[in-house]
Amino acid sequence: MPGLRRVEVNEVGDVTVVHFRDQKIIEDLGIQEMGQELFQLVEGENRKKLVLNFSSVDFLSSAALGKLITLDKKAKARGGSLKLCNIRPEIYEVFAITRLNRLFDICDDEADALAAF
């Protein structure tokens, strides 16, 4: 999918795999755009199975977490689901502190995430 500034989208079978273009997801505009691009996948293109691969992300803020939470709600409302993977330990700690590791299905790597659907 060309034209996306914040995420890169690939398809593996019926699963949509998303990689993030930003190493640090902190800037307001970037977070807004990332949210819009992810929401479009779920709402505009009706994709049901999403893998969010965080291999390129080394920092994110609570505002970025907010977008992921909203994405999860939107996906679930449409009968879809998300898997998160390749989250480095420092960022995983953030998910664990905020208990979002209970909300999200977090897998070690992309292969695990694809197999988890």
Partner 1 sequence: MSTSMPEKPWIWQSETVIPSRAAAARATLDQLIAELARNGWPRCEIFRVRLAVEEALVNAIKHGNRQDPSKRIQVGFCLFTDLVRIEIVDEGRGFDPATLPDCTDSEHLDEPCGRGVMLMRSLMSRVEFNVPGNRVTLEKERNKEPGLSPREDRGKG
Interface contacts to partner 1, rule CB under 8 A: 26-28, 59, 61-63, 65-66, 69-70, 72-73, 87, 89-90, 92-94, 96-103, 106-108
Minimum CB separation of residue 50 from partner 1 in Å reads: 17
| 79, 47 Cβ separation under 8 angstroms | no
Closest CB 49 distance from partner 1, rounded Å: 20
d(CA 99, CA 117): 22
Residue 117: which of 93, 81, 63 has the closest Cα?
81
Nearer to partner 1, 48 or 74 (CB): 74
Which C-beta is closer to partner 1: that of 9 or that of 82?
82
CA-nearest of 46, 45, 57 to 84 is: 57
Of the two residues 70 and 81, which places its CB atom closer to partner 1 in the complex?
A: 70
Shortest distance in whole angstroms from residue 65 CB to partner 1: 6
- The strand pair at 7-12 and 15-20 is best described as antiparallel
In whole angstroms, give the CA distance from residue 3 to residue 75.
Answer: 22
Least separation, in Å, of the C-beta of 117 and partner 1? 18
Tokens at residue 57, please? 């992300």
- Between 9 and 17, name the residue whose CB sits nearer to partner 1: 17
